Structure 1
Amino acid sequence: MTDWIQSIIESVGYAGIAFLTFIENVFPPLPSEVIIPFAGYVTTNGSLTIIGVIIAGTIGSVLGALPLYYLGYFIEEEQLKTLADEYGKWFMISPKDIDRASSWFEKRGALAVFVCRLIPGLRSLISIPAGIQNMSLLPFLLLTTLGTAIWTSLLSWAGASLGNNYSNIQNYLDPISYVVFGGMIAWYLYHIFKKTVIED
Structure 2
Amino acid sequence: MLDILISKLIIWFLELEYWGVFLSALGVFPTEISIALFSATSEANIFSIALVSAVGASIGSIPTYFLGYLFTEEKVYFWLEGRWKFLGIERSKVEKSKEQMRKKAFIYVFITRLVPWLRVVTSIAAGFLRVNLFIYSVGVFGGVFLYSLGIAYIGNKIGYNLEEIMRYIGLIDRWLILFTVGYFAVSIGYKNREKISKWILSFKKTH
TM range (shorter): 0.5 to 0.7
1:54-75 C-alpha deviation (Å, 9 max, x unpaired): 1111111111110100111244
State the partner residue of 1:8.
12
Is it true that 1:155 corresponds to 2:151 in the alignment? Answer: yes
State the partner residue of 1:41.
40
The 5 Å alignment of 1:26-175 reads 30-42=29-41, 46-76=42-72, 106=101, 109-110=104-105, 111-162=107-158, 166-167=159-160, 169-170=161-162
Contact 2:14/2:37 (<8 A) preserved: no
Q: Following the alignment from structure 1 to structure 2, what is the Cα–Cα distance between the partners of residues 77 and 60?
A: 30
Q: 1:56–1:147: structure 2 CA closer, same or farther, 3 Å change rule?
A: same
Contact 2:110/2:143 (<8 A) preserved: yes
Q: 1:20–1:143: structure 2 CA closer, same or farther, 3 Å change rule?
A: same
1:137-191 C-alpha deviation (Å, 9 max, x unpaired): 11111111111110010101110011xxx33x34x67xx9xxxxxxxxxxxxxxx
1:32 Cα offset (Å): 2.7
Amino acid aligned to 2:117: G
Aligned residues: 141
Q: Following the alignment from structure 1 to structure 2, what is the Cα–Cα distance between the partners of residues 50 and 108?
A: 33
TM-score of the two chains, using structure 2 as the length reference: 0.58
* SS of match in other structure, 1:47: coil
* SS of match in other structure, 2:39: helix
Q: Following the alignment from structure 1 to structure 2, what is the Cα–Cα distance between the partners of residues 79 and 41?
A: 48
* Structure 2 segments unaligned to the other structure (5+ residues): 77-96, 167-207
Q: Following the alignment from structure 1 to structure 2, what is the Cα–Cα distance between the partners of residues 77 and 10?
A: 44
Larger Rg: 2
State the partner residue of 1:23.
27
Q: Following the alignment from structure 1 to structure 2, what is the Cα–Cα distance between the partners of residues 139 and 57?
A: 18
* SS of match in other structure, 2:121: coil
Amino acid aligned to 1:109: K
Q: Following the alignment from structure 2 to structure 1, what is the Cα–Cα distance between the partners of residues 24 and 103?
A: 29
Give every structure 1 segment of 4 or more consecutive aligned residues whose post-TM-superposition deviation is greater than 3 Å: 77-80, 105-109
Q: Following the alignment from structure 2 to structure 1, what is the Cα–Cα distance between the partners of residues 20 and 53?
A: 9
Identity between Structure 1 and Structure 2 (%) = 22
* Structure 1 segments unaligned to the other structure (5+ residues): 25-29, 81-101, 177-200
* SS of match in other structure, 2:63: helix
